[in-house]
Amino acid sequence: MSAPAETNPLLEGLRIRRRPDPCILVIFGASGDLTAKKLIPALYALSVRRLLPDRFAIIGAARTDEGDDDFKARMKQAVKDHARDPYDEEAWQRLAVGMKYVTLEFADGKAEDGLRDTLASLDAEHGTQGNRVYYFAVPPSAIGTLVGEIAERRATEGWIRLIIEKPFGHDLASARALNAQIQEHYTEAEVFRIDHYLGKETVQNMLALRFANGIFEPIWNRQFIDHVQITVAESIGIEGRAGYYEQAGAIRDIFQNHLLQLVAITAMEPPIDFYADSVRNEKVKVLKSIHTPGPRHVVRGQYGPGFVEGLEVQGYREEEGVAQGSTTETFVAAKLFVDNWRWADTPFYVRMGKRLARRETTIAIQFKRAPHPPFEEGAAEGLRPNVLLIHVQPNEGISLAIGAKVPGQGMTIRTVHMDFLYGGAFREGLPDAYERLILDAMLGDATLFTRSDEIEEQWALVDAIVGFWQRDRPAFPNYAAGTWGPVGSDELVHRDGRSWRRH
């Protein structure tokens, strides 16, 4: 039997202020990959920790025909395969007791009709008081119609919250149109646009590092920082998602959302408090200040065949479902400038890609060199500039590269690392981002979700980049799987007399 929430050591790492109100969570797209791999395992983790409301039910909805029992059996297997905790029958039963599946045709205008009876019977059986969380784990094209239908049938009692998966639109125009459709029926406080990177512990820790420690903020600017490097490297390929990825590419899949959020959190001014709008106001200012990079400052790539972690893998064009001569990029590197007083002329070099040498998401803050090393010639040859490295994943933690004297006679200086590892400092494994985000949405806390204006600023930048890509045909593939991307990526930083952080 787990301990009550407030004393349970498993809760370390999750912010617990209160239990969410009773509610029903409706997942549209319940037959999909995300539901099985992320959403249900995250809900199970919340059930293990007794963080879900006492009165709670789940409806899985999709077009695929499935009965309640088959859905539950599939979700139970998903928990066994993907949850971070060992399987516990009692925790599963707490989750499964109010679980139903509804087969829906999304585009026929009857989606909410199909749900109505199930919602009403669950309200009656579980006392969920008409409160609803609708999770849209469906392609963006399916969202617009659904939000309208739900609004039309909106119950008179209870609150409503919409959680919307990425990608939110395909470009600025479609994102604006989707925002307009949503805003016709809902207030911004009812809308929770997911960027799961914001739910990662280490991304939130960036805020703690910057704003809970007096030592960093005075030096967090152009006077002391030479440049910033952000890497979102994945060793996996497209994992059978060609239909989506062919349309998205790395620029829409990672740059538009996860990457720009990492830039915003690194560059933002201190918010006056940690309420949703205060934090998001500061992030929007950064996004607005990002100068559109010219063609020379953006490099794109696509992987060819190669070896990743010792295994031979095929090239992107050979992946199932990818067009033979596809020009979809699987890699992007860019040099960005945040044009404000804090960051003017300080480059943010960013890169992201699939089938790179290994999985690694890092933010590296490279400080300027000491102005005058008073040591004998050659003594500090092995010394590199100070770097504060935030390991977002894996091996979550922070490392500071400093110069230290090599023990022994004379004065020789070398770079050493001071490391803080999450695993060593805290007892509990890190919660998955979706645990945090689903719970926050149930609690009505939008701090870790993207606001409509943030999304639109992100798309404006992507549209500008994609605009000049249309002028030429890239010579793809231009990097071998298992490497760190195309040569152009190195050239981008070498031109400035810098290089990507060594791996």
Task: Point out the residues that are catalytic.
Answer: 258
Q: To the nearest whole angstrom, how small is the minimum distance from the Cβ of residue 85 to ligand NDP?
A: 20
Question: Which of these ranges, 41-49, 59-67, 347-355, 443-451, lies near ligand NDP under the rule CB under 6 A?
Answer: 59-67
- Asked whether position 32 contacts ligand NDP by CB under 6 A, the answer is yes
> By CB under 6 A, is residue 60 in contact with ligand NDP?
no
Site for ligand BG6 in 145-184 (CB under 6 A): 166
Q: How many residues bind ligand BG6 (CB under 6 A)?
A: 3
Query: Among 112, 123, 253, 396, which residue sits at the site for ligand BG6 (rule: CB under 6 A)?
Result: 253
When asked if residue 33 is in the footprint of ligand NDP (CB under 6 A), the reply is yes
CB burial of residue 65 (10 Å; 0-12, 13-18, 19+): exposed
- Could you give the CA distance from residue 51 to residue 439 in angstroms, rounded to a whole number? 8
Q: Which does 485 bind (CB under 5 to 8 A by kind): ligand NDP, ligand BG6, none?
A: none
In angstroms, rounded to a whole number, what is the distance separating the alpha carbons of residues 119 and 132? Answer: 9
Q: What residues form DSSP beta bridges with 26?
A: 59, 134
Q: What is the DSSP string of 435-483?
A: HHHHHHHHHT--TTSB-HHHHHHHHHHHHHHHHHHTTS------EETTB
234 binds, among ligand NDP, ligand BG6, none (CB under 5 to 8 A by kind): ligand BG6
Footprint of ligand NDP on residues 97-136 (CB under 6 A)? 106
Residue 119 half-sphere exposure, CB side, CA atoms within 13 Å? Answer: 25
Q: CA–CA separation, 255 vs 179, rounded Å?
A: 20
* Burial 293-303, CB ≥16 within 10 A → b, else e: beeebbbbbbb
Looking at 112, 123, 234, 457, which residue binds ligand BG6 (CB under 6 A)? 234
63 binds ligand NDP (CB under 6 A): yes
- The answer to the question of residue 246 lying near ligand NDP (CB under 6 A) is no
Site string for ligand BG6, 45-84 (x = CB under 6 A): ----------------------------------------
Q: Which does 499 bind (CB under 5 to 8 A by kind): ligand BG6, ligand NDP, none?
A: none
> Which residue is listed with tokens 């201190």?
270
Residue 411 · residue 405 · CB < 8 Å: yes
**Are 71 and 38 within 8 A, CB to CB?**
no
In DSSP terms, 492 is beta-bridged to: none
Residue 253 interacts, among ligand BG6, ligand NDP, none and using kind-specific CB cut-offs from 5 to 8 Å, with ligand BG6
Our CB check for ligand NDP shows the closer of 139 and 429 to be 139
Q: Which residues bind ligand BG6 (CB under 6 A)?
A: 166, 234, 253
